[in-house]
Every structure is written in C-alpha cells, then in structure tokens.
C-alpha cells in the first residue's frame, strides 16, 4: 500500500496540474476526461489518507506519542528525495533573506569563513541575464501568436521561478560558506550539501589546484569532491572515513576530501592552527 500511495502521488498530481492549466487557458476538454481526472485525484487522496492512517496507527501501537507518530508517518509516506528537494527550496528562500540582511548561516563568532561564491558569480550573472531576456522575449512571442492567456501565464510563472532560482543559488553560495571552528571543518555547497568533519580526524591538509573536475558533488572510491566551476584547490586527508550524505540522500564514505574556496590560504592557516592537526 505504501508503494502504491507514493506512486499515485507522483503520477496523479502532474496530470491534475496539466488539466488545470489547459482549463484556465480555455482549451475545451471532453467531459469524460475531466470526470476521469477528478476521480483519479479523489482516489489518490483516499489512498493517501488510508495509508497515512495505518502508518500512524502502527507508530502509535509501537509506543510513539502523537507528534512522533505524525513525523514518522510523514517520513514514511513522502520519499526522502521529495523532502530534501522541498527543503532545498525553503533554504534557498531563507538564503535570499539572509543575503538582503547581510548575514551568514552557520558562522559563529571566532570562526573562519572560507567563501566560494566569487568563482561562480560571473556564471550566475550570465544565466540571470539570459533568463530575463528569455522571459521577456517568450512572453512577447506568445502574445504575438495569440496564445491563450492561461498558457502565457503558466509559461511566465515558470520563467519567473527560473529567475528566482538563480537568485537562490547566488544567495546560498554567499550566505553559506565553508567554516572552520575549533571543533570542526564544515564543507558546504549552497543549500545542497553540508558536511561536518571533526578536526581531530584531519591528518593533513594541503593546497592542490585542479581545473578539470566533473560534477558538483561526487564520490569516487573514498574521495569526495565538492566542485565550483570545475575547480578544487584544497585537499583534506582523514584518519578515518566520514559519512557523506549526497544532495538526494544517498550515502557514501570518504577519507579524502577535495573542495574549492576563494581563500585557500586563510582556510589552510586556520586548519593548521589546530592542536589535533599534524602538518604534512
């Protein structure tokens, strides 16, 4: 039942959104299609409600209180990938607020912040310019073609969200830098990645520039790479593996970490000041 509820959640909602857009746009739809779609949505809601009820009851019988049972039910019913994607969006919006307020997330007094946003800012500005031009151009084109207002509105909302998304990426990079505190090295990539490494596990740290990295967050063997604009410039070796949680929830183990910062010298000096660190 749980698998069926999750599958229905993914399948029915996009179809319902498509039908709403078509109806708002004035596209005539056969009555049986509308009835079938509404029946599918109603069935999905009933299935979700029944599944949630049985999951909640099972948690309560297992001794959980109401709040814990509700949280557990939510986690079981909604896939971790969906939860993490929604969390990324919310954190992105918070990052814009922090950016406007000129504040940073997770940088306590006395900590050393190591930013990485400067290298990617030019690319984001190019994306932003292209998306603004595209938004205006597409809307004018659709208007000239007499496309129904509902379709134009849907396309405009999607384009405006794309612009907002670029702002979220930029704000997250600025407000969530890498951080060195007396107890840990925190390696981040916007809202998508956050790894805390206890400093007593760091055996060596060195400057090592690479300009041909692939992906953004990758694990190859026991090596983690957190990349900015195809670059890394700091390598951290560990005495024992740490657990890496990838953006969509996958896990891996790493004993070598490569990442990029705009201020590698300051970060290396901060890490080498640790009493736990042995210089290479």
Nearest to 29 by CA among 150, 157, 146: 150
The model's pTM is 0.77
pLDDT attached to residue 46? 75
List, as one string, the DSSP characters of 40-88.
HHHHHHHHHHHHHHHHHHHHHHTT--HHHHHHHHHHHHS-HHHHHHHHH
Quick one: pLDDT band at residue 278, thresholds 50, 70, 90?
very low
Averaged pLDDT, 113-137: 91
Q: What are the residue ranges spanned by the domains of the chain?
A: 2-78, 100-175, 188-272
pLDDT at 157: 86
How far apart (Å, rounded) are the C-alpha atoms in residues 39 and 25?
A: 22
Q: With bands split at pLDDT 50, 70 and 90, how would you rate the model's confidence at 54? A: confident
20, pLDDT greater than 70? no
Q: Which of 45-54, 95-104, 242-251, 265-274 has the lowest mean pLDDT?
A: 45-54
């Amino acid at each position: 039942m749980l698998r069926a509820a999750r599958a229905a959640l993914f399948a029915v909602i996009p179809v319902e959104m498509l039908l709403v857009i078509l109806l708002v746009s004035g596209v005539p739809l056969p009555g049986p299609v509308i009835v079938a779609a509404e029946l599918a949505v109603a069935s999905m809601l009933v299935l979700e409600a029944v599944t949630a009820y049985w999951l909640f009851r099972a948690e309560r019988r297992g001794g959980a209180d109401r709040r814990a049972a509700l949280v557990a039910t939510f986690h079981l019913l909604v896939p971790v990938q969906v939860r993490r994607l929604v969390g990324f969006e919310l954190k992105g919006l918070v990052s814009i607020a922090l950016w406007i307020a000129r504040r940073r997330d997770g940088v306590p007094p006395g900590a050393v912040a190591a930013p990485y946003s400067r290298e990617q800012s030019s690319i984001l500005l190019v994306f932003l310019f292209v998306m603004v031009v595209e938004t205006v151009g597409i809307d004018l084109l659709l208007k000239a073609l007499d496309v129904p207002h509902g379709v134009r509105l849907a396309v405009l909302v999607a384009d405006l969200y794309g612009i907002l998304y670029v702002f979220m990426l930029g704000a997250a990079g600025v407000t969530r830098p890498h951080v060195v505190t007396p107890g840990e090295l925190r390696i981040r990539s916007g809202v998508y990645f956050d790894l805390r490494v206890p400093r007593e596990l760091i055996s060596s740290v060195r400057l090592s520039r690479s300009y041909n990295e692939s992906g953004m967050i990758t694990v190859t063997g026991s090596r983690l790479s957190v990349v900015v604009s195809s670059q890394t410039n700091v390598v951290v070796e560990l005495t024992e593996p740490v657990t890496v949680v990838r953006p969509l929830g996958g896990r891996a183990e790493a004993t070598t970490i490569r990442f990029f910062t705009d201020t590698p010298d300051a970060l290396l000096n901060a890490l080498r000041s640790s009493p736990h660190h042995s210089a290479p």
